[in-house]
């Protein structure tokens, strides 16, 4: 778009007075380009900028992606310009919008327009075929979160080299009874035992399957920012600066909408009281275990996590499929 604007501005007077006129001309040209465009891409917030108000025609169709992750007022912004039809696309059993204020949350500010329409009985069309995950990965989330209706696209059951080793199968749960701790002055949690185990796990993966070191195919995620930092530090000290290019380490929330060939999930929480905090949010759990294409490796304390209904079901599913591995200390 900037290239088109510069082309059209090439003959505009660039003196001081001309600069003032040029600024107005710049905005007019930007709006005219939008008017001529068949498809316009924008964030929700930017769709409220002045350039859109200069457009001379309304949109025929507005499609809002990740609509279940947007607060309702933000979703309404692109609609102020008028449209004949709106499509809301999203997943209500994945993470919603982040709302910092507890008061606003209690008053319903975190409810998306998608969720409101769904609750009001508006028809919802579900896309039932998934094209990302190996069937052994999709089995549990389909049953637990999608009423068993998810279907697998063609070619997803293709065996990858690491599947020949049972510990690196499509779906594995590593039962690690570590020690959780809370860094001073933070609301976050860390688990050094899981950091060390995951570092070793990746080392074994890369050692057995060198092709994983040639491209960033592995993602490591955790619900807690401080755990993410510990993991990054561990990978950097063990594998060098190149680890930043080869291993994508992030929070679960930061990984929504993304995918990797292999995903390792650090659950962190491990305590006698069996408290797991927001790890119990089934939407966060769903996001975490559905990012991988060929293998998801969950690392956590089975005894702690099992106190939650959904986590108990996942641990039992791992047992039934002979893919639960207990770390021997």
CB-CB contact of 244 with 117 (8 Å): no
Q: Please indicate, yes or no, whether residues 209 and 97 belong to a single structural domain of this protein.
A: no
Listed residues 97, 119, 141: the one ending a domain: 119
In-domain check, residue 67: yes
Give the whole-angstrom CA distance, residue 41 versus residue 298.
36
In-domain check, residue 37: yes
Q: Mean pLDDT over all residues of the chain?
A: 91
E strands of the chain, at which residues? 59-64, 83-88, 129-130, 151-152, 171-175, 180-181, 190-191, 218-222, 247-251, 260-266, 292-300, 324-326
Listed residues 60, 90, 119: the one ending a domain: 119
The pLDDT value recorded for residue 16 is: 42
Q: Please indicate, yes or no, whether residues 195 and 159 belong to a single structural domain of this protein.
A: yes
Q: Please indicate, yes or no, whether residues 99 and 168 belong to a single structural domain of this protein.
A: no
Give the whole-angstrom CA distance, residue 168 versus residue 296.
8
pTM score, whole prediction: 0.88
pLDDT tens figures, 27-74: 788 888 888 889 999 999 999 998 888 888 889 999 999 999 999 999
Q: Please indicate, yes or no, whether residues 109 and 230 belong to a single structural domain of this protein.
A: no
132-to-151, 259, 260, 262 alpha-carbon distances in Å: 11, 8, 9, 12
In-domain check, residue 223: yes
Give the whole-angstrom CA distance, residue 314 versus residue 329.
23
Separation of CA 98 from chain center: 13
Mean pLDDT on 70-97: 94
Mean pLDDT on 306-323: 97
* Number of structural domains found in the chain: 2
Task: Report the CATH number that the domain containing residue 273 is assigned in CATH.
Answer: 3.40.50.300
Q: Please indicate, yes or no, whether residues 115 and 134 belong to a single structural domain of this protein.
A: no
Q: Which residues form the domain of 29?
A: 2-119
pLDDT tens figures, 226-240: 999 999 999 999 999
């Amino acid at each position: 778009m900037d290239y088109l604007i510069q082309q059209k501005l090439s003959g505009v007077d660039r003196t001081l007075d001309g600069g003032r006129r040029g600024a107005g001309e710049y905005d007019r040209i930007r709006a005219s380009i939008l008017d001529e465009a068949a498809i316009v891409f924008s964030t929700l917030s930017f769709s409220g900028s002045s350039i859109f108000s200069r457009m001379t025609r309304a949109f025929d169709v507005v499609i809002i992606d990740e609509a279940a992750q947007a607060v309702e007022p933000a979703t309404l912004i692109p609609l102020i310009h008028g449209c004949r039809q709106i499509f809301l696309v999203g997943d209500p059993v994945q993470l919603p919008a982040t709302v910092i204020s507890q008061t606003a949350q209690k008053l319903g500010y975190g409810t998306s327009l998608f969720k409101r329409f769904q609750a009001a009985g508006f028809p919802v069309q579900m896309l039932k075929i998934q094209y990302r995950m190996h069937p052994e990965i999709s089995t549990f989330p389909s049953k637990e979160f999608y009423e068993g209706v998810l279907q697998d696209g063609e070619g997803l059951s293709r065996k990858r080299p690491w599947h020949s080793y049972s510990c690196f199968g499509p779906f594995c749960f590593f039962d690690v009874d570590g020690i959780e701790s809370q860094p001073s002055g933070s609301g976050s949690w860390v688990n050094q035992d899981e950091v060390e185990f995951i570092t070793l796990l990746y080392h074994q993966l890369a050692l057995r399957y060198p092709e994983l070191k040639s491209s960033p195919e592995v993602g490591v995620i955790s619900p807690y920012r401080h755990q993410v930092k510990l993991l990054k530090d561990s990978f950097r000290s063990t594998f060098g600066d190149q680890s930043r290019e080869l291993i994508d380490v992030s929070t679960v929330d930061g990984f929504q909408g993304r995918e990797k060939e292999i995903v390792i999930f650090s659950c962190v929480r491990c305590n006698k009281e069996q408290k797991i905090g927001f790890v119990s949010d089934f939407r966060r759990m769903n996001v975490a275990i559905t990012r991988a294409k060929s293998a998801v490796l969950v690392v956590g304390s089975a005894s702690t996590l099992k106190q939650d209904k959904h986590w108990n079901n996942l641990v039992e599913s791992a047992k039934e499929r002979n893919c639960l591995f207990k770390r021997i200390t």
